[in-house]
Structure 1
Amino acid sequence: MGRIVVIGAGLGAMATAARLAVAGHTVTVYERGSTYGGAVGRFAREGFAFDTGPGLLHLPAVYRDLFVKTGKKPLEECVGLSQVDPAARHVFADGTRVDLPNASRAGTAAALDAALGAGAGERWSDFLVRAREAWDRTRRPLLEEPQPADPKPLAREPYPALKAGLLRRPTTTLAQVGARELAEPRLAALLDAYAWSYGFDPAKAPASAVVLPYMEQTFGSWYVAGGMRALADAVYERCRERRVEFVFGTAVTEVVEEAGRAVGVALEDGRTVPADHVVSGIPVPALHADQLVGWEGSEEWARHQVLGTSRVTVHLALRGAREEDAAHRTVVHGEGGRPTVTVLRPDDPALRPDAEHEAVTVTATVPAHPARDWEEYAGLMVEAADRAVPGLAGRLLWRHVRTPDDVRADTGTAEVPGPALAGAGGALLPAANVSPVPGLYFAGGWSHPGGGLAHAGMSGALVAGLIVEGAGFRGSR
């Protein structure tokens, strides 16, 4: 068995570390910050607590598998896990509201018919049938298998879009899918909202982004008691049980290479740590920008310099109890210059001082590198959130704003990666788990299969498989 060095202590990196430790490797994680979790952080003040990253979990089977493969206690014995129902409440620009049930195709169709008119549910259901085709065509290569050496087949659009117009023009973007196939502005806005929530502009996202609503509405949305930070705590504890060593407050300054292969890392204190394999869990752009590896001239790097999107998050401390019919998640669609925002209102005593207060998180997707007044923008977000939280303005005790600069401080880059998507000429395929430098592997949201809690966990399984089984590893079946 070998010595493994892991750079960074995000969820993908820790998932890799736990699996490799179970396989008998000696694993050490070096994290420049003072804690683990990466983007899955927590902000606490005056008895209120908030997730600073993702607020919901999709595809919990990924973490169930991690806990089954790395110890005796299953995931549900380590964290409280519950389905969110309704999965989301949508408040459209015209004031229409609809509650979408969790993982119920028939229930969703009925809710859409009731809110948007007869036929809306059928159109959405027909669309999801086509979305399933895209899911079935891409699920294994995008989620469960290492990225193929030749990813060109994934550059082709897998969504069987309906043809439109006399010339039968092809549908190339998600926005076009909504306009041509859903035939109802609010249904199109519903589809767009899924793209924005994952950091994609629907006008630019490929049609294959239809897999995002399909995934959520098929497998459901889940909440971890105590917030998503509790999931990071559980994965960290599992790593410690498997004798993974963590070294915090210690930055890696270089991936050491000999004869063209990664053989260890150099630390900021001048030490060099030898390793048989190095796993980088930090963002690929940060890995390159900080000159930790010397492959800036490669074609591989050029594919990962495209600027993406980031998040602005506003944490709201409110006086007054949460009303009984409040939705855990409400998407307030943009109008009149206000952005589309996601409002999270978990009914969780661990996040508030007492039953007479409430902790609310409001999030919006923004360009990663804009120059703007974030406090002013946060004000627009809170105005939008007022449509989801009755009497919000009068209940507000204080607010805390997290900007793209805070995202950069936590993760090394302001951008928040989205999940891998087929189509778009391959532009939305992340870095392969096997890096251009032999012996160096990529795990986490900036590597295959992309961003998100579930995807980060999948990257850990893929990297561990590639190291343990070698180049012949083809994924789990």
Structure 2
Amino acid sequence: MGRIAVVGAGMGAMAGAARLAVAGHRVTVFERTETYGGAVRRAERDGFAFDTGPGLLPLPAVYRDLFVKTGKEPLEDCVELVQVDPSARHVFADGTEVSLPNASRAGVVAALDDALGAGVGQRWGDFLVRARETWDRSRRPLLEEPLWPNWSVLAEREPYPAVPHKRLLRTRRAGTLAEVGAWELRDARLAALLESHALVHGLDPRTAPANAAVLPYMEYAFGTWYVRGGLRELARAVYERCLARRVEFVFGAEVTRIVEEDGRAAGVELADGTVAEAEFVVAGTSPRALDGMVRGTALRGEGEVPARPGAPSRLTVLLALRGGRPEGTAHRTVVHAEDREAELDALFGTAPGLPARPTVTVCRPDDPALVPDPGHEAVTLTATVPAAVSTELRAQADRMIAAASRAVPGLHDRLLWHEIRTPADIARATGAEGGAVPAPALAAAEGRLLRPANTTVLPGLFTVGGWSHPGGGLPHAGMSGALVAGLIVEGPEFRGSQ
């Protein structure tokens, strides 16, 4: 077995490193910052602690599989997973509210009927049935297999079974998520519920393909989970699993060049001039950062999915509140924008900017580890913002707090202090230009939302993480690590787990 150099200690990179070490490889991870986890970070102050990256874990089976395949201790022996119920509370623009049970289609249908009117829930339930068919059609090629060489088939084929929509003399089928909401759900609040699942990933529902229906389906089918102590605990567990498998980590080590020898990757060169030789290199970096390391070598051949570094970012506001968390409080509340079209125009228009009234996700974990004592509460607010935005962010944070007050009674009176985490902070943690956050891969849309294959034109060089197949998000990062490990261990004939 050979030596493998991994660039970056993000979740996908660590997932791949642990699997490769179990296969007998000598793995060294070079991380330019002083810690692991990529965007999965924690902020602490005055006894309060906050997740500054993802706050919830969908599809935990990905990490359960990682721990099964890399050691004797299962995931639940290393972290405490808590199923969040209700999955989410939604506060709509017209003031109506609904709390949706976790992983219960029947429960969700009943809750929507009770809150929004008879028959509304059934329309959502029927949509989830179509979303399940979309998941069954797209799950394996988009998530569990290396990207197909004939990837254009995925780019052209829309797997969502849209319902025919008759208008005047024409019959049409939804091609975008917004059209699914307008034509099939036929309720502004249901449409907002649907579109929020795209917006949280930085996707414009007006251009996101209809098969983005898999995003809410994953949540309602497999549940939403919290890691006690915060999602940073998941990163810690994966890091410690790597150490247990004798993966070596070198922190504060910036890779500046991929060493090439005899037409293949042969190691990495660090900023101090040190060269670490390796038979394989796995890069968990953004496309632009990787391009700078190969110095002119084209990594994607003609006809392959191109690297698309552009994506929105997120603004996070950390709130320290006096007074304990009231019993029965929902872990997550989505406060919907009063004018969704204006919000989307601001975020995704020709000159992206900050919406005056953003959609805000409010996370209120029931977790004593995050507060100094039971008489306080730690709350995290997140909203999608353009990447690289640097001005007016404090004003936007104030707007987010104002929106969150619709979900947290007495918020302003309880507020001790607040801090913000900006796209620049994400850029420093992950190296992504402007703090961009990649979305999960999706089919159709002419391949705009597919990510490049984990292999590259340069033999011996592989890519892992959100900027390569199968895209962004915690589950997708874990899947990416599994795919890269399979390609290295089994070779080009690897076709994914069975």
* Separation in 2, partners of 1:278, 1:290: 12
Corresponding residue number in structure 2 for 1:437: 458
Corresponding residue number in structure 1 for 2:406: 387
2:469 aligned with 1:468: no
* Separation in 2, partners of 1:300, 1:34: 38
* C-alpha deviation, 1:243, in angstroms: 0.4
* Separation in 2, partners of 1:304, 1:468: 25
- Ranges in structure 1 where 5+ consecutive residues have no aligned partner: none
Structure-1-length-normalised TM-score:
0.97
* Separation in 1, partners of 2:138, 2:284: 24
- Ranges in structure 2 where 5+ consecutive residues have no aligned partner: 340-355
* Separation in 2, partners of 1:58, 1:343: 17
SS, match of residue 94 in structure 2: coil
* C-alpha deviation, 1:163, in angstroms: 2.2
Corresponding residue number in structure 1 for 2:271: 268
Letter in 1 for 2:158: E
Which whole-Å deviations, capped at 9, do the CAs of 1:268-294 have from their partners, x for residues lacking one?
111111111000112223322565662
Which portions of structure 1, spanning 4 or more consecutive aligned residues, are displaced by more than 6 angstroms?
A: none
* Separation in 2, partners of 1:331, 1:246: 38
From the superposition, tell whether residues 120 and 392 of structure 1 become closer, same or farther in structure 2 (CA, over 3 Å).
Answer: same
Corresponding residue number in structure 2 for 1:84: 84
2:331 aligned with 1:328: yes
Kept in 2: contact 1:254–1:293 (CA 8 A):
no
Corresponding residue number in structure 2 for 1:352: 371
Kept in 2: contact 1:90–1:333 (CA 8 A):
yes
Corresponding residue number in structure 2 for 1:6: 6
Which whole-Å deviations, capped at 9, do the CAs of 1:414-453 have from their partners, x for residues lacking one?
1100110001011100121112221111111111111111
From the superposition, tell whether residues 305 and 420 of structure 1 become closer, same or farther in structure 2 (CA, over 3 Å).
Answer: closer
* Separation in 1, partners of 2:289, 2:358: 29
* Separation in 2, partners of 1:220, 1:192: 19
Which whole-Å deviations, capped at 9, do the CAs of 1:219-246 have from their partners, x for residues lacking one?
0000000000000000000000000000
Letter in 2 for 1:424: A
* Separation in 2, partners of 1:248, 1:328: 34
Corresponding residue number in structure 2 for 1:374: 393
Corresponding residue number in structure 2 for 1:48: 48
What is the 5 A alignment of 1:423-434?
A: 423-434=444-455
* C-alpha deviation, 1:301, in angstroms: 8.4
Corresponding residue number in structure 2 for 1:162: 163
* Separation in 2, partners of 1:227, 1:145: 30
SS, match of residue 114 in structure 1: helix
What is the 5 A alignment of 1:179-218?
A: 179-218=182-221
* C-alpha deviation, 1:296, in angstroms: 6.9
* C-alpha deviation, 1:213, in angstroms: 0.6
* C-alpha deviation, 1:306, in angstroms: 5.4
* Separation in 1, partners of 2:465, 2:115: 39
SS, match of residue 236 in structure 2: helix
Which whole-Å deviations, capped at 9, do the CAs of 1:455-474 have from their partners, x for residues lacking one?
10011111001100001111
From the superposition, tell whether residues 334 and 400 of structure 1 become closer, same or farther in structure 2 (CA, over 3 Å).
Answer: same
Which whole-Å deviations, capped at 9, do the CAs of 1:333-389 have from their partners, x for residues lacking one?
012631001000001011111100111000001121345310001110010111111
From the superposition, tell whether residues 239 and 138 of structure 1 become closer, same or farther in structure 2 (CA, over 3 Å).
Answer: same
Work out the percentage of aligned pairs sharing the same amino acid: 65
Corresponding residue number in structure 1 for 2:240: 237
* Separation in 2, partners of 1:122, 1:259: 61
Which whole-Å deviations, capped at 9, do the CAs of 1:287-327 have from their partners, x for residues lacking one?
22565662278557882235211100001111111111210
2:280 aligned with 1:277: yes
* Separation in 1, partners of 2:111, 2:20: 45
Residues 297-306 or 179-188, more deviating: 297-306
* Separation in 1, partners of 2:56, 2:300: 38
